[in-house]
Structure 1
Amino acid sequence: MGDPISREEHEEFRKRIEAEDNRQNRRIELLEKSVEQFTNLTTAVQKLADNMESMLKEQEQQGERLEKLEGRDGEKWRNVTGYIITFVLGLAISYLFKTAGF
């Protein structure tokens, strides 16, 4: 075996080991906080993604409803235009028949 170490050397070794333990414990605490922050961030990003997905679905539904509403207005305009053209043609045909003597 070797020469035994003195009490002072033993105390110095113990202090250094304790200091290293404290340093590592502090690093572990910081890592745990970082992991907790990453977990919170991941959760927040997931919630944001879910909200954006629901907003996209809602926007698609609103787009469909808007297209239907715009189509209805266009359809009404085409009907009104058709009635006006029919009326004008009716007047023209009536005038032609009247002038032809029917």
Structure 2
Amino acid sequence: MNDEEVAVRIAEYGKEIGSLKHRTTDLEEQQKSIQELAMSVKELALNMKTMMEEQKKQGDRLQKLENEPAERWNSAKKTAFTTIISVISGALATGLIFMAAQYL
């Protein structure tokens, strides 16, 4: 190898090194973009988890609100049934007392 060939090879290596530096810079930018995307996905996942927990809480509150009218209706039915039974029992007791009073 003579000096001229060595100079040509060094020039070629210089071009290759420049190309590799350019490619490395591009890869570093891509890596930064991928890292930012990964962080965004992680943040999105945390937000989704928080939203899911809040939605569960809202579902529980909604279930309580939906059950309230049914509970009131059941309470009203019990009250009406108790009132009717009380009236009938009172009427029977009064009737029996009047009947017993007539025979005395």
Which category of TM-score, normalised to the shorter sequence, fits these structures? 0.7 to 0.9
Number of equivalent positions: 98
Give the drift of 1:35: 0.9
**Match status 1:13 vs 2:16:** no
- Alignment match, 2:58: 62
- Which residue does the alignment assign to 2:101? none
The Cα offsets for residues 47-94 of structure 1, whole Å up to 9 and x where unpaired, read as: 111101110121121122122223322221111111221233234334
Q: Determine the C-alpha separation between the residues in 2 that align with 1:60 and 1:6.
A: 78
Match of 2:39 in 1: 43
Q: Unaligned 5+ residue runs, structure 1?
A: none
2:41 pairs with 1:72: no
Q: What's the counterpart of residue 26 of structure 2? A: 30
Calculate the TM-score normalised by the size of structure 1: 0.76
Over aligned residue pairs, what C-alpha RMSD do you find?
Answer: 2.1
Q: Which has the higher helix share?
A: 2
Q: Normalising by structure 2, what TM-score?
A: 0.75
> In 1, Cα distance between the equivalents of 2:89 and 2:21?
100
Which amino acid in the other structure matches residue 55 of structure 2?
Answer: Q
Cα distance in 1 for residues equivalent to 2:62 and 2:73 = 17
**Alignment-mate amino acid for residue 59 of structure 1:** Q
